Structure 1
Amino acid sequence: MQQETEYGQQAFTPSAEDLAGVEAWFAEYDALAARGAVREIADLAVFPLNLATDVPGGFAAVRQWDREEFIQVMTEVMGGGTGDMEMKSVRTPHFLTSNLVLVETEATVVVEGRRQSMRYADLLVRTTDGWAFQTMVQGGWGHGWPPATRG
């Protein structure tokens, strides 16, 4: 639902159906991740995929991945899936418009008794086929990446 703001811009307030659509997208993503179904996860993305992270002890780093690079990296990261992990996520969608939603995730993962907390965000875009992720933002992935530069 579009609303007029004091600046004359349109603000979007999501409906229950809008929120349910994003929740359903993440339920599908989580189920695929649990199985390690990286190629099917790639089907839920728009490429090139934007990534923003940071270089530990340094600055921000950004990249774009094509489908093949995403599959290669995520296969290494996910291995046989995340089903053996205990993962709890709290996701907070921030709808920019009816077609753009930034979703902040606070997650806790327990692997072999070790607990790790993380925060990340995804930009989902509404496509003709439904929601897709287009940008991933999470700290700590930039090992070996060059720092971002302006201009």
Structure 2
Amino acid sequence: MYQPSNEELKSIEAWFAEYDALAEEGAIEKLAGLAVFPMNLATDVPEGYAAVRQWTRAEYIEAMGDAMSGGTAGLGLESKRTPHFLSRNLVVVETEATMTIEGRQESMHYADLLVRTEDGWAFQTMVQGGWGYGWPAAKRG
């Protein structure tokens, strides 16, 4: 089992600090710059099943734009992240988050696969419920 160094753990914390700051700004293009495309997405759909597909950069930007269309200013987000290093270059990060929007709290539980590239960490896979609810049946496969 791979045991990350303190520096490696801090590099994951720093990556997510940058990601969170960009998300708070609503900087979707810059968020896309932190990813490797095509991006894998595992989610669920209304019929009660899982759905897996790949997003292009354009699809990711569109989905994030829709998700952030109400703006992110004043969005309170608290996250507890637990990185699981599979190797020196592959990290599954499990996140438990609470989002506060207009005084209402919502909890989320999701995971991301980060991969080490020549330029540093990038996210490549999202595993989170709810993204497939707006997909037409043809896009679910």
Verify same fold: TM over 0.5: yes
Residue aligning to 2:66: 76
**For residues 5-43 of structure 1, what are the alpha-carbon distances to aligned partners after superposition, in whole Å with 9 as ceiling and x for unaligned?**
xxxxxx210000000000000000000001000000000
Structure 1 vs Structure 2 CA RMSD: 1.6
Which is helix-richer, 1 or 2?
Answer: 2
Residue aligning to 1:138: 128
Residue aligning to 2:115: 125
Mapping of residues 56-71 of structure 1, within 5 Å? 56-71=46-61
- State the percentage of identical aligned residues: 65
Residue aligning to 1:21: 11
Q: Which runs of 5+ in 1 are unaligned?
A: 1-10
3-state SS of the aligned residue for 1:108? Answer: strand
The total of aligned residue pairs comes to 139
Deviates more, 1:135-144 or 1:22-31: 135-144
TM-score, normalised to structure 1, is: 0.86
Residue aligning to 2:105: 115
Runs ≥4 residues deviating over 3 A:
144-149
Residue aligning to 1:86: 76
3-state SS of the aligned residue for 2:122? Answer: strand
The Cα shift of 1:83 comes to 3.2
> Which whole-Å CA distance do the structure 1 matches of 2:19 and 2:140 have between them?
29
Q: Which runs of 5+ in 2 are unaligned?
A: none
> Which whole-Å CA distance do the structure 1 matches of 2:82 and 2:47 have between them?
28
Residue aligning to 1:12: 2
TM-score, normalised to structure 2, is: 0.92
1:39 aligned residue (29, 54, 74): 29
- Is the Cα contact below 8 Å between 1:36 and 1:80 reproduced in 2? no
Q: Which AA in structure 2 matches 1:75?
A: G
Residue aligning to 1:30: 20
62 and 25 in structure 1: CA distance in 2 versus 1, 3 angstrom threshold: same
**For residues 48-99 of structure 1, what are the alpha-carbon distances to aligned partners after superposition, in whole Å with 9 as ceiling and x for unaligned?**
0000001134100011011111111111212365231111000000000000
> Which whole-Å CA distance do the structure 2 matches of 1:89 and 1:144 have between them?
25
